Amino acid sequence: MASLDRLLRRATSFVAGKAEAIRYGTSEPKAGMDDVTLARKVESVLFRDAESPKGEVDISAVDGIVELRGKVKRPEDVRWLEEQARSVPEVRSVRNLLHQPKTLSSTRVASG
């Protein structure tokens, strides 16, 4: 039941955000946005929800390419966070390195 409530809140937040974007302006990329500002903008979008994994996910940007690193509890969170990052108009691409606890990050090589 808790996951259904969370999904409903996310959907409501997403729709409200889109409605505000239509009402108050376009979603055109801002010219000249530097990478630090872009990373902070993506953070504000991803961590808007009170239940977002704020302390567990790091966000950086280089030349408009956003990188997501860290641990999230559920596989659907990995996909949802990537989709939200891609929704920011200034983001050229997303490199998703998120993983679940007790699983290897895609940047680690298993020793053996």
Q: Do the domain assignments include residue 47?
A: yes
Residue 38 pLDDT class (50, 70, 90 cuts): very high
pLDDT digit string (tens) for 60-103? 999 999 999 999 988 888 999 999 999 999 999 999 999 988 77
pLDDT at site 105: 61
Which residue from 61, 67, 59, 53 is spatially nearest to 101, judged by alpha carbons? 53
Which residue from 102, 86, 11, 101 is spatially nearest to 45, judged by alpha carbons? 86
Six token digits for residue 22: 């239509």
Task: Check: pTM over 0.85? Answer yes or no.
Answer: no
* Domain around 11: 2-99
Q: Do the domain assignments include residue 106?
A: no
Q: Do the domain assignments include residue 84?
A: yes
Q: Do the domain assignments include residue 107?
A: no
Residue 26 has pLDDT above 50, yes or no: no
**Residues 38 and 65: beta-carbon distance below 8 Å:** no
In the predicted model, what is the mean pLDDT of the chain? 81
Q: Do the domain assignments include residue 89?
A: yes
Query: Helices in the chain by DSSP H: which ranges?
Result: 2-24, 35-46, 75-86
Q: Do the domain assignments include residue 45?
A: yes
Domain CATH for 77: 3.30.1340.30
What DSSP element (H or E) covers 61?
Answer: strand 57-62
Give 56's contacts (C-beta < 8 A, 6+ positions apart).
Answer: 70, 71, 72
- Number of independent structural domains in the chain: 1
